[in-house]
Structure 1
Amino acid sequence: MGRTDRIFPDKYIDLHLHLDGAVTSDIAKRLADMQGIVLPAESDALEKLLSVGEDCKDLNEFLECFELPLKLLQTVEALDECAFLVAEKMREQGVIYAEIRFAPQLHCEKGLTQRDAVDAVIRGLSRSGLKTGLILCCMRGSDNEEKNLETAELAKEYLDKGVNALDLAGAEGLFSTENFAELFAKIRESGVPFTIHAGEADGAESVRKALEFGASRIGHGVRINEDPELVSIIAERGIPLEMCPNSNRLTHAVEDMNDYPFMDYLSRGIKVTINTDDPAIERTDIAAEFRYMESRFGMTAEQKREVLLNAADAVFANDEVKQWLRDQIAPGVNEK
């Protein structure tokens, strides 16, 4: 992959990025060429298949963009190459550490096992020059309990061997967080740390359940302000929120961005972070997310540093990595 001409003077951390949501048109072409797959469109038409515009109607339209990437990610070679290309693209954009997540159960349509998928992504990330952590996603659903248990077992086996944590992703509005109590009881016993997508398509109660299960971070969490007591709990416990501004805007998790609560949460001492979620679908990158917060909400340079230090402290990694990140973001500032 050729290096970008764009200059990124800053250093960034991205804690919430889905591998299949980071397949840009150039990556899609590479994966298709590798596998002899004819893409359904080219140029601008291909871009439209992989992304949404400013007129995105709802979350359903947003989710349609995953269809093509998933078709391209059903072999070990494709998963390996995609993980490498996504990580390299982020490194070129100024990211110094990223936690990339994917659901191995979604990549078994052509005979791969979940283990095959995990091994492939670990290999791809290890080839990159970017420091990364891998998060395995269990999926919300009504008939995939065994698949989720297998994902959890793999996370336990691969913990600190390429995998850093677990997550629960999928249709939060259709499959309530409370339905997964048994799964997370077993995950707690395993000792694998985890985050949970909550407070995005569903409300504050979803976040409460995630905390009851033992989540040490919350994916999105944008709707915690529906419950003032929960806002206080999140602040007091220092629970990081993996917030994704343009994703929340385009999926209508927040209907009116004038009401986007990020800056309010920051002022209350909540450990908010800024992330891309699905950068290819949103046509964004981490620098663009920060620029959006600066131009739309007046986020200052000092607040930007605070947000990045929040991310450094929130990573699913050891203290040595956390301190290295803090030193990169704010040289000379002692560890908290």
Structure 2
Amino acid sequence: MGTKYIDLHLHLDGAITAETAIELAKVQGISLPAKTEKELEKLISVPEGCTSLNDFLRCFELPLSLLQTREGIRRAVQLVLEEQKREGVIYAEIRFSPQLHTRKGLSQEEVLRAALEGLQDAPIPANLILACMRGADNQKENEENLELARRFLTKDGGVTAVDLAGAEALFPTRDYLELFRRAGESGIPMTIHAGEADGEDSVRAALEMGAVRIGHGVRARKNPEILEEIRSKGIALEMCPTSNRYTRSIENMEDYPLLMYLESGIKVTVNTDDPAIEGTTISREFRFLKEHFGLTTEQEKMILRNAAEAAFTSDERKHSLYKNISEIS
């Protein structure tokens, strides 16, 4: 029996393939700036010359333009999860920031409700993570995002956590400490992008916020104290190898710390981040780790078990995921 995957770090706007973009444009009556699927792929794919996270984030403009209506958002969630199922994913958590989808007049709540409608017809179990955005003038929008998460919070089939995403190097994680401490006091589970484009203090700030998962965490590798805190608290790291290579989270991929983290007892998971933009899939991520780092079958199973345990979902769903993982040959 083939491997069954779990993807905990999957951005909606980073998962819009050229095929999906064409479908979304069709149902919304939008003209695309390319005539063929191949030409479109060039517009939504990160260039090999990408030198930073900030350059990487510019690739999201076209996908975001297709995610500004109820129908576009609803259909996108369905199509992305259909693609995930084809890739062997049995459970996914889609993260997105409602404030980025209001250009055509939708409220953040209308954006969220459209995404929830997309989940209803999803071919695999999935949940939503609402992301606050790093930025200079969006405190009000972030506050509203957290309020929506509080109101719609559930254990399955909806909003199960919040996140902080965006340009980490420009807007330090620590600037959002109080905002997310309040989220924690409201009982909202959180994952925080940290240690991707900024250093170890970003990871430390995420821990102080009360994050139970950290997106990436690559740049914490040289601080034993922080790594021990991550290990002892059972914090899961959502690692995304291909993304980290493109965004230069680490200068030399030979130093990529995933196996070091895993062997030290840290709860490592493997994810795609932005599969359409990066041209990757969850199976390719694991294949890369096998070919370049010698990842074993037992280590792969451990990573998948970590993902099942760290998932923002119900105990019943976790039990089902464990059962599926145990069947992997």
TM superposition score category, shorter chain reference:
over 0.9
Q: Is the 8 A contact 1:203 1:226 kept in 2?
A: no
Point out where structure 2 has 5 or more consecutive residues left out of the alignment. none
Taking the aligned partners of 2:306 and 2:182, their CA distance within structure 1 comes to 29
Amino acid across the alignment from 2:26: D
SS of the residue aligned with 2:130?
Answer: strand
Taking the aligned partners of 2:27 and 2:310, their CA distance within structure 1 comes to 36
C-alpha displacement at 1:202, in angstroms?
Answer: 0.5
Taking the aligned partners of 1:181 and 1:142, their CA distance within structure 2 comes to 15
2:16 aligned to which of 23, 32, 36? 23
Amino acid across the alignment from 2:69: T
SS of the residue aligned with 2:290?
Answer: helix
Aligned to 1:263: 259
Deviations 1:273-295 (CA, angstroms, capped at 9, x unpaired): 00000000100110010001110
1:288 aligned to which of 284, 293, 297? 284
SS of the residue aligned with 2:162?
Answer: strand
Q: Is the 8 A contact 1:238 1:271 kept in 2?
A: yes
Aligned to 1:103: 97
2:202 aligned to which of 196, 199, 206? 206
Q: Is the 8 A contact 1:100 1:134 kept in 2?
A: yes
- Taking the TM superposition and a 5 Å limit, the aligned residue runs for 1:60-99 are 60-99=54-93
C-alpha displacement at 1:331, in angstroms?
Answer: 4.5
Taking the aligned partners of 1:54 and 1:263, their CA distance within structure 2 comes to 25
2:26 aligned to which of 29, 33, 37? 33
TM-score by length of 1: 0.94
SS of the residue aligned with 1:226?
Answer: coil
Taking the aligned partners of 2:272 and 2:192, their CA distance within structure 1 comes to 16
1:167 aligned to which of 145, 148, 163? 163
SS of the residue aligned with 2:9?
Answer: strand
Aligned to 1:121: 115
Identity score, percent: 56
C-alpha displacement at 1:145, in angstroms?
Answer: 0.5
Aligned to 1:5: none
Aligned to 2:42: 48
- Taking the TM superposition and a 5 Å limit, the aligned residue runs for 1:217-236 are 217-236=213-232
Amino acid across the alignment from 2:94: I
Aligned to 1:3: none
Q: Is the 8 A contact 2:177 2:208 kept in 1?
A: no
Are residues 1:177 and 2:170 paired? no
Point out where structure 1 has 5 or more consecutive residues left out of the alignment. 1-7
1:307 aligned to which of 303, 307, 310? 303
Taking the aligned partners of 2:327 and 2:19, their CA distance within structure 1 comes to 36
Runs in 1 of length 4+ with deviation above 6 angstroms?
none
Deviations 1:182-233 (CA, angstroms, capped at 9, x unpaired): 2112212211111100010011111111111111110111111131111111
Taking the aligned partners of 2:12 and 2:222, their CA distance within structure 1 comes to 30
Taking the aligned partners of 1:44 and 1:267, their CA distance within structure 2 comes to 41
SS of the residue aligned with 1:29?
Answer: helix
SS of the residue aligned with 2:92?
Answer: strand
TM-score by length of 2: 0.96
